[in-house]
Structure 1
Amino acid sequence: MLSDIERLAQAFNCAERVLIITGAGLSADSGLPTYRGVGGLYNGNTSDGLPIEAALSGPMLQRDPALCWKYLAELGRACLGAQANVGHQVIAELQRLKPQCWLLTQNIDGFHRAAGSPDDRLIEIHGQLAPLYCQSCGQQEDDLAGRLTEQLPPLCRHCAGILRPPVVLFEEMLPERAISTLYEQLGEGFDLVLTIGTSSSFAYIVEPVLRARAVGAFTAEINPARTGISDSVDVYLAGRALDVLPELLSHISVNRICKSSP
């Protein structure tokens, strides 16, 4: 009888098309805060007495850019002060092993790209923190680190407009190109869908799992705490990605040939 992690490794070996979905829990192992769930920095209200969904929202950026940037800067400093961990590196290796292994991430830290995940199979559904751009004239600049040491909100050096990062704030639309790519790939189908470190609270995270289940594809979740999809997947592995993913890779590395379950 195979263990759950061996079942997942075997499913990966047998799959041609794979979708890996990652959330804040993966980068938590790099020291970044999660919004919700185990270790969530904002399980209650922020220090300003607001839910994080209000403080980090598009309307707040327009109404009170200094307050919104207070929390954008907190995220920016955390990302600049950390780096990709072994979980990101294992995912990049899984993509190397499978030419049709796609990655959908909610994270804005850029760690997947830094770890070696290919741009042409990476969907950053919430955008990223750089480069900053001016909301008034569109001018771009790359000095996020420098801007975070100055007075907030940062202002454009060309027109004095307010800068922002290309991230999706709460109450804003998802990037059209990322959504289009995601649904194009979902239309082709996946043999395996694996979620890692996400609370699975958004429809565009849950839908790929449900679609996979509907056609009999293998589904799995790696997370320290159970989520709304834990009872629906074929395999739920309780634990940190930092611990589980290297073990998963070790099973894949020594068992490359697809075999039927005993």
Structure 2
Amino acid sequence: MNDLSEADNIAQVAQHLQQAQRVLFITGAGLSADSGLPTYRGIGGLYQQQDTEDQVPIEVALSYGMLRTHPALTWKYLLQIEQACRGVGYNRGHEVIAKLAQDKEVWVLTQNIDGFHHAAGSPNLIEIHGRLQHIHCMSCKHKEVWPDFSHLQLENLPPVCPACGGILRPAVVLFGEMLSPLETLSLTQQVQQGFDIVFSVGTSSLFPYIVAPVLEAKHDGVPTVEINPGKTEISNAVDYRLRNRAAKILDDIWNTWKQMS
């Protein structure tokens, strides 16, 4: 990491971006927070206290074990999260990443389940934690896509499959579940091909599969960039650390890059 000003760092990142052909963006909750999405915890979070109103941590309520044994409770909190996000859309940060994909081969590895990268038009997505709007049955192969959960009522949870009567669930990775093998394979294949620059945007970088592409790029001499107001596990390892809101910094990088083009 260097000690340049934010403007100088942005200029250097834009210069690297100009020369790059393959770009990786790793995105987390900090990017969607600029759309107004709440986090689970922290100031302004949905669940600032240790436990939910049902006296269990949100991580337990949103676990695979709870879904199997008390599906109505898990769905109660899935519905709360979806209600808090309803009507919110992608922001300028998502737009910038999608626009870059019109000029370069851009891949997005995202922890977010909101589908904003897809809606913004990014073509190469690795949604490692799934997407909330994709619904499937736990008992058969039935699948649906729900724009939102407005048709659900608390007293009628969990929703059931119209084909077999089994319990429906969103195609997201709950606590205690394994990652999707298909998404994991896609990530491995793309990292093996290598990238010309790697961005970590709005993620606390707590999971090994989120950290590894950054550290591997750094080891290979590939420029690495972190966009995050706070300090994370990779902050001291990256070449460029931009401590500001994701949407603002990405827009600044876009504008600087366009001036160079």
Instruction: Give TM-score scaled by structure 1 length.
Output: 0.90
Structure 1 residue 162 displacement after superposition: 1.0
Q: 1:40 to 1:10 in 2, by over 3 A?
A: farther
1:156 to 156, 161, 170: 161
2:65 matched residue in structure 1: 59
Q: For the residues of structure 2 that align with 1:46 and 1:109, how far apart are their CA atoms?
A: 24
1:138 to 137, 141, 144: 141
Structure 1 residue 39 displacement after superposition: 4.8
1:178 matched residue in structure 2: 183
Q: For the residues of structure 2 that align with 1:111 and 1:75, how far apart are their CA atoms?
A: 15
Q: Secondary structure at the match of 2:242?
A: strand
Higher mean C-alpha displacement, 146-155 vs 76-85:
146-155
Q: For the residues of structure 1 that align with 2:183 and 2:143, how far apart are their CA atoms?
A: 21
Amino acid at match of 1:129: L
1:19 to 11, 19, 24: 24
Q: Secondary structure at the match of 2:95?
A: helix
Q: For the residues of structure 1 that align with 2:137 and 2:106, how far apart are their CA atoms?
A: 35
2:83 to 77, 82, 96: 77
Q: For the residues of structure 1 that align with 2:28 and 2:55, how far apart are their CA atoms?
A: 25
2:131 matched residue in structure 1: 128
Q: For the residues of structure 2 that align with 1:44 and 1:76, how far apart are their CA atoms?
A: 19
Contact 1:20 1:196 in 2 (8 A): yes
Which runs of at least 4 in structure 1 moved beyond 3 Å after TM superposition? 35-44
The superposition leaves residues 38-59 of structure 1 with CA deviations (integer Å, 9 ceiling, x where unpaired) of: 6544454232333322111111
Unmatched segments (≥5 aa) in structure 1 = 257-262
Contact 2:9 2:240 in 1 (8 A): yes
Unmatched segments (≥5 aa) in structure 2 = none
Q: 1:6 to 1:195 in 2, by over 3 A?
A: same
Q: Secondary structure at the match of 1:20?
A: strand
1:242 to 225, 239, 247: 247
Identity %: 52
Amino acid at match of 2:137: C
Amino acid at match of 2:186: T
**Aligned counterparts, 1:108-119, within 5 A:** 108-118=113-123
Q: For the residues of structure 2 that align with 1:200 and 1:38, how far apart are their CA atoms?
A: 19
Structure 1 residue 226 displacement after superposition: 1.2
Q: Secondary structure at the match of 2:238?
A: coil
